[in-house]
Structure 1
Amino acid sequence: MSSVVNFQKILKIKNIKHIYLIGIGGSGMGGIAKILIKKGYKVSGSDLISNFITKNLISLGITIYFKHEIKNITNNIDLIVKSSAIKNNNPELIIAKKLNITIISRVEMLAELMKFYYKITITGTHGKTTTTAMVYEIYKLSGLDPTFINGGILKYSKEYAYLGSGKYFIAEADESDKSFLYLKPTINIVTNLEKEHLDYYNNSIEILKKTFLKFLKKIPFYGCIVICIDNNNNYDLIKKNKLSFRQNIITYGFHKNADIQLYNYKQNGYKSQFYILEKKTCLSFKINLSIPGYHNALNATAAYVVSKFNGLNNRIILKSLKNFRGIIRRFDILTTIYPPKKIKYQHDIIIINDYGHHPTEIDMTINTARKIWPNRNLIMVFQPHRYSRTKILLNYFIKVLSKVDKLFLLKVYPAGENFIKNADSKYLSKKINKLGIIISQFINLKDYCNIAYYIFSKLRGNEILIFQGAGDINNISSFFINKKFQKKILNQ
């Protein structure tokens, strides 16, 4: 009996026909909605913004309300799935409780969807989305027709979720609120562990590591833990607990003790290549990538290890990795433009959009851009994400953001948080300027168009302009894609 039939029987026993998702436009939520409607369930939901995912879901026949309102919740809804970003005072949640409608979290639904599959999950502070996509594309090219749900959109295929007919389910597993503990994968990748989302871990990296240990021990004895030991917290986690694991453990990284060791990394423009050495077999392979960065070499190696563990063809693995084109909003080159006409220039300006909002991710973006374009000035427009993250990592942000040539800071995207003193963009800008390395400018404008106009007026040519952050900064970079305001200024 197929996994799809099994899952459908479970829901039918509970008389589940109509499922409503609050926060349906989020990357993980949208993927679940897509899988559910493909399985034959009636799906509807709500969100506050329209994006690629909501437009795609509407095209599939899903009704979406772009406001959280009591009237959206009706008696014919059998189950509600809520995003982790939804607060308890959400009006739809309140009325659902009054109507006695069952409410579950996003990850609880994901766990149910994955129940009868061979489960491959990807966890870690950074690199989850790209690694998940790499694994998916390898398994798909291998003819295994896997199901997958991802936290980002693939550039080439525009996929973020897919319902396959095969036995594998590949998914990004988010540790931000401990909800990943609902999952019990067969294989799990741990890319790295850093100080992130510590508000759910009593501001303790040790509690975060203990939670990961609890999660990894859910993997069955015949399963596998694939973990990067270039990261100190990962290395410490494995070193201290290796004897307590019954599962297979495969380590990877540039680290000399890695089971799968990377070496001779080279970057040629936007492309890169490196070698991996399998210590157990003493075999060595060259991997070519069409995307840049040490971090992507590590992501690709993780995908390689998982694929080899399941016996996939080496030639297909290497071909898939070479053809991989990346994820939208992950070092995403949007367009090229020219600066205002009144200024003489020799080169155009390259516009990049990047989702990274943690200092380590930003640092990697900066280093990658410097390697590709060493002779261009690097300008960054950064939107801090959450006051709590800015406060906890303030000194790290100051250090990393001081590496660009010019910095524009937008207001903090609060993501539902209340204001925290000395954790806002104005304060961050002041602290960066105090170092005297670069000039940071806080843009205290509300309108997206005015912000875009202002940034454009400051461009001089021969620059890399990076829009960095996980909030609504994408609404500003979009003005640079259509170039309408650019033509308006040039004609003045």
Structure 2
Amino acid sequence: MSKEKYHFIGVGGAGMSVVAQLFFARGWQLTGSDQNDSANLKKLRELGIHCWVGTRPQLITSEMTVVYSSAIHPDNPEFAAAKAAGCKFLHRSQALALASADCKFVAVAGAHGKTTTSGMLAQTFSQLGADPSFAVGGVVRHYQTGAHLGKGDYFIAEADESDASFLNYRPQVAIITNIEPDHLDNYGSAEKFEQAFFDFTNCIKPGGTVILCTDDPGCCRLLARLRSPQGAAADQKSKIQMLGYGIKNPPAGLDRFCQVKPQEEEPASVSAEFILGEESTTVRLPMPGQHNLLNAAAVFLAAQVAGFSGSEISQALGDFAGTARRFETKGEVGRIRVIDDYAHHPTEVEALMHQAREAAVTGRVLALFQPHLYSRTRNFASRFASALDLADQVIVCDIFGAREDPIPGVTSQIITDKMQHGSYLPDRDTAARLLAEAAQPGDLILTVGAGDVTAAGAVILRTLEQRFAQ
């Protein structure tokens, strides 16, 4: 057991709790704190980790290494006490890199799709007998956890681009699902956002592999830059393999390409032919959506790099149980289904609406959307409006600010003002009850967003139960 002591500030967060579990699994000494009690804190306590609610700066000692995320402000009492005591500090990404030392690191990056792809990758490698360690920013339903310390050589993790912390990783394989501008509050411009992904490819170990979705224009621009002799790291790029996947025809510059040819889509499944060179493999996923086929293609290529055959990978992908808060059924009352989803970027919301339309068959799609971050709401209000208008009825509640302070003049109404049939109602639970009252048998109700909107599902189900009990 390591003699070094670690203290996690904000340990109840999805990402931080995963890293804490990995440290604990390695036998390292740690404590943790968070502002609010939660299911994550309860799970950590059940493992035997000493966690507390609130701040206890008096418990911070100089021999501790403090693990923190970008959500922790310098004026946090424990953070300030650690500074005063001369403690060492590790950002969450650095801590994750430490926990994954000596592993074949597979990092999944992209503005969206990371959690589903990394969860799919973790379960697929496990089904194939690789027993990987993984750190996923959501619960992989097959495991009912987002963290696992396996006995195999592989470590699979999401690579968070929001604050450029993914530049702390040194992956053997890097998957980039897309490079759509986001987090402009941090980067300032789309150009700087794309530069971060170019810098991320510099972090790949020599002899490693980058896997790109070439249906995404940002990934295509990155590929062209990587292959350019003027690239800032052209010598490094000559030492890595460049693979691509997509439904559209591939651009030039790839070493190998997986062509995805969609075949059949049903309310609960989707299938396609994956063509890699001369080999064609049929893949059927137990979930709808062409975006999930693209996620599966990234996993297919990563598993091929690891030495598995197409037929083996296809069978494993067919068993994927999904990740929590990704089109997750919360319940059904009176033939009205309630679905929860983490979508918080316009492209994700648009894909979700298409998926919901397919799942609803002849019923309507009703949605409760909670924007995440004031800056994202301001930057993408028009795109959110267009995506949400794909539903039949939408209520948008107040913004979940997370790490941000309010921006004057920025409310959820800047989205609904641009919508044809959306309405703004600040209170989340009142909005949930209204949608439950409006729903009819055969309809599908979505709760959408990266904040606490997931709790609205229970409100909707209770309201439906009361309504149909009458």
Query: Considering the TM-score relative to the shorter chain, is it more than 0.5?
Result: yes
The CA distance in 2 between the partners of 1:51 and 1:271, in whole Å, is: 33
Deviation at 1:325, TM superposition (A): 1.1
Deviation at 1:80, TM superposition (A): 1.0
Partner AA of 1:240 in structure 2 = R
The CA distance in 2 between the partners of 1:490 and 1:284, in whole Å, is: 50
Q: CA RMSD in A?
A: 1.8
Cross-structure match for 2:213: 228
1:443 matched to 2:441? The reply is no
Alignment of 1:144-163 (within 5 A): 144-163=130-149
Alignment of 1:337-486 (within 5 A): 337-338=333-334, 348-432=335-419, 437-438=420-421, 440-445=422-427, 448=429, 450-481=430-461, 483=462, 485-486=463-464
Change (3 A) 1:106 1:398: same
2:171 and 2:203 in contact (8 A); partners too: yes
Partner AA of 1:231 in structure 2 = D
Cross-structure match for 1:309: 305
Deviation at 1:220, TM superposition (A): 2.4
Stretch of structure 1 that moved more, 57-66 or 294-303: 57-66
1:222 and 1:248 in contact (8 A); partners too: yes
The runs of 5 or more residues in structure 1 that have no matched partner are: 1-7, 339-347
Cross-structure match for 1:251: 244
Which string of whole-angstrom CA distances, capped at 9 and with x for unpartnered residues, describes residues 349-391 of structure 1? 1100000111100000001111232311111100000110011
1:394 and 1:423 in contact (8 A); partners too: no
Deviation at 1:284, TM superposition (A): 0.7
1:276 and 1:284 in contact (8 A); partners too: yes
Cross-structure match for 1:99: 85
The CA distance in 1 between the partners of 2:169 and 2:62, in whole Å, is: 29
1:212 matched to 2:201? The reply is no
1:265 and 1:294 in contact (8 A); partners too: no
The CA distance in 2 between the partners of 1:88 and 1:228, in whole Å, is: 37
User: SS of 1:418's equivalent?
Assistant: coil
Partner AA of 2:247 in structure 1 = F
1:141 and 1:316 in contact (8 A); partners too: no
Partner AA of 1:414 in structure 2 = G
User: SS of 1:473's equivalent?
Assistant: helix
Cross-structure match for 1:275: 273
Cross-structure match for 2:115: 129
Identity %: 29
1:221 and 1:248 in contact (8 A); partners too: no
Deviation at 1:152, TM superposition (A): 0.8
The CA distance in 1 between the partners of 2:336 and 2:275, in whole Å, is: 39
Q: 1:182 aligns with which of 168, 179, 199?
A: 168
Q: 1:322 aligns with which of 318, 322, 327?
A: 318
Change (3 A) 1:490 1:285: closer
Report how many residues are paired.
457
1:20 and 1:81 in contact (8 A); partners too: yes
Partner AA of 1:255 in structure 2 = K
Deviation at 1:490, TM superposition (A): 4.7
The CA distance in 1 between the partners of 2:40 and 2:17, in whole Å, is: 6
Cross-structure match for 1:342: none
Stretch of structure 1 that moved more, 316-325 or 59-68: 59-68
Cross-structure match for 2:254: none
The CA distance in 1 between the partners of 2:401 and 2:42, in whole Å, is: 25
1:80 matched to 2:69? The reply is no
2:60 and 2:78 in contact (8 A); partners too: no
Cross-structure match for 1:3: none
Q: 1:263 aligns with which of 241, 261, 264?
A: 261
Which string of whole-angstrom CA distances, capped at 9 and with x for unpartnered residues, describes residues 362-421 of structure 1? 000001111232311111100000110011111111211122111111100111322223
The CA distance in 2 between the partners of 1:144 and 1:472, in whole Å, is: 35
After the TM superposition, which segments of 4 or more aligned residues of structure 1 sit over 6 Å from their partners?
A: none
Deviation at 1:451, TM superposition (A): 4.5
Deviation at 1:240, TM superposition (A): 2.7
Deviation at 1:98, TM superposition (A): 1.5
User: SS of 1:86's equivalent?
Assistant: coil
Deviation at 1:69, TM superposition (A): 4.1
The CA distance in 1 between the partners of 2:56 and 2:64, in whole Å, is: 18
Change (3 A) 1:416 1:275: same
Stretch of structure 1 that moved more, 42-51 or 163-172: 42-51
1:116 matched to 2:102? The reply is yes
1:24 and 1:83 in contact (8 A); partners too: no
Change (3 A) 1:361 1:314: same
The CA distance in 2 between the partners of 1:405 and 1:368, in whole Å, is: 14
The CA distance in 1 between the partners of 2:118 and 2:459, in whole Å, is: 30
1:334 matched to 2:330? The reply is yes
Deviation at 1:476, TM superposition (A): 1.5
Change (3 A) 1:322 1:491: closer
2:333 and 2:465 in contact (8 A); partners too: no
The CA distance in 2 between the partners of 1:416 and 1:264, in whole Å, is: 39
Which string of whole-angstrom CA distances, capped at 9 and with x for unpartnered residues, describes residues 143-171 of structure 1? 22211111110123202111112221111
2:176 and 2:211 in contact (8 A); partners too: yes
Change (3 A) 1:269 1:489: closer
User: SS of 1:152's equivalent?
Assistant: strand
Deviation at 1:68, TM superposition (A): 3.1
Question: Structure 2 length normalisation: TM-score?
Answer: 0.93
1:41 matched to 2:28? The reply is yes
Partner AA of 1:159 in structure 2 = T
1:297 matched to 2:282? The reply is no
User: SS of 2:6's equivalent?
Assistant: strand
User: SS of 2:23's equivalent?
Assistant: helix
Deviation at 1:491, TM superposition (A): 5.3
